[in-house]
Structures are given as C-alpha cells and as structure tokens.
Structure 1
C-alpha cells in the first residue's frame, strides 16, 4: 500500500481553510450545503469541520476491525503463512496510525471552529433588543455549547485511546520482525489477542463518535 508524503497538507486542514476563505468572497458569506441549501454563516465553518471529521472517521473505522481480525488469525500460527500475514499486519498498523492522525487533526480543527462559532454568537446577543428573544438565543447557544462539549470529551477519549494501541502494535511488529516463526508468534499470542480486543473496542468508540457527529450535523444543517 502506497502512502503520500507526510509533508502534504492534511485534508481536514485544507477543507477548513478553504471554507474560511470562501466566507470572505462576495456573495459567499453563507456558503452552500451539499444539497444546495444556504448555510448559516456563523455555523458554516463548524459544519465543515464536523463533516470533514465525520468523513475521515467513517472512511477509516473499518481499519480497526480489519486489524482485530488479522490479530485474531495469529491464535493458530501453525496454520498461517507468516510472511504474507506479517505484511498485512504492517500495512494495517500504518492504516490505524493514519486514522489516529486524521482524528487528531480533525479534532483540533473542530475545536477551533467551535470556539469561533460560540464566541461570535455571544457577541451577537447584544444586537437582539427583545429581552425574551435574547434569552431564548442565550439558552439555545448554551445547549449547543454543551453538545459540542460532550462530543469533544468523547472524541478526546477516543484520541487518547489510540496511543497505547499504536505503541503495542509497534512493539509487536519489532518483535515479530526478528522472530517471525510459529514459536515467536506463540510467545506473544496473549498480547496479540489483547491488541485485537482493544482494536475492536476502539472501533466501537468510533461508531459512537460517528453517531454523535451525525446528530450534531443534522442539528446545525439548515433545511432546504
């Protein structure tokens, strides 16, 4: 599997920067949603960050479950063609690492976009003369801020969970690179099984994050 040079700009960063630039163009302040409906100007950058992160996680989630299946195959090393199996293992470990990088970058972009969205909303409150309407806007802003906060906490938890898994996968790769035998695999079988369980559990966390992302995107996206 060929990977692009790490010097290229992350897709998430490019998409968010492009969205912000488009907001400055005449006639583009509100943007357009995928279905052609006008975006809410203040929410458009937050929506873009949510959608890009959602796409990255959805595209990469399967790598965790595939990694878990590959690790489970090692419970019977005598039945494995260890060379091809190890090549798949190394490739899939890189895929999991790339998913972790996408989550880290997308989460940072989302945090920045959410801060701009919520702070701009707070500044705009003073422009509402009607006290009752202003309070309704205050309450709505607080509710959405809390939703972003809950999503952020879960995304941060998922992000932190990648580090021990990736370290374990890296350690196992180095060990097996030097002892790719049935005996060597048997010696680390318990660790391989543990890494497989952790990979599958992390895939479940990503599923939960995707559900939250879908819900918040649906909440913020304007209707046609």
Structure 2
C-alpha cells in the first residue's frame, strides 16, 4: 500500500483575487487615496457597505457573511470542504466545547494588543476554528481592523471579543450543521492511510 502523503499547501493568500469571478481583496494599501479605500485593491470594485458592517451587530450576521464572501480568501473558507483532521477534532469536541475552544483561542491569539506572530498565528487547515477565523476575518489583527474596524495596538474589549466569538460560532453552526452538541468517540486514523481508504475499511 502506498503511504499517504499530505497534499501541498494551499496556493492562496489574503491578497489573492479573481476579480473576473467577483472575488476580490479589500485589504488596504498605504498608497491608496481616501476615495480608493474600501474598494478592491486590484480592480476598484465597491461592493461592501462598510458603515453597516462596522456596526458589528451579530444579529446582522447574514449580511456580514454575505459581504465577507466578496473577498476571495473569505469565500474560499466559506466553501472549502472541511479536511479530515478538522472534522475529527470537531466531532471529538462537540459543538458546545468547540465554541468554548474557539473563544479561548480568540482570547489568546487575537485579543492581545500585540499578538505573537500576528498575521501568521492562524493555520489554514487542521481545525474548523481556523476555517471560521479566516472566513470571518478574525484570524489576525490586520484582517480584524479593515473588516470590522477594530484598531490594532490595543487589547480587544470584552464586547469586541464576544462579537468575534459570535461570528466564529455562527460560522461553525453553518459549516457543521449536523455536528452533535456533545463529543462523540471517533477512532483515530491509522498513520499513512488516506481518509478514503480508512472509510472503506470501516
């Protein structure tokens, strides 16, 4: 049996665009004029109601999620299938503990005024919390600042942390609608065995 090899890293960055398919990047450049800010840095598309988004109303999450998906990196994580390791982790936690773990992670890696390795502290796979953070722009302080208007250089307030946790929790509910509230026992995948072969053996 051929040993399973991990797929190559994702070829996608926060600044990636596919403007022809309405997938943009709204991360600002220092050289942008006032009139250019808030628009796609590549094509100038003006698609986001920033004033509404910056109210940070978790009850308006449907609109927030729709706006986020105009950006390629966010759209990718909204629609990317959950990898096997991430799904197993979620099942072992269950919905309630997964949300608790998400808030703990936000508190540790996002809430400080100067998080360690800011901009690189959230991996791209292996945990559904990572998917949620990238999708909702709660992955680093730069994304948090330009999407949610929460400035860098100071700790998050309790209200801001709760807002970020609410977005992550809502994403997890959307992405994993059939996840049990409580943990379930999930057998570990044998080393070197691809997920599809493991399923065939069960």
Could you say which TM-score interval applies, normalised by the shorter chain? 0.3 to 0.5
Q: Which has the higher helix share?
A: 1
Calculate the TM-score normalised by the size of structure 1.
0.30
Whose radius of gyration is greater, 1 or 2?
Answer: 1
Tell which has more relative contact order, 1 or 2 (C-alpha 8 A, sep 6+): 1
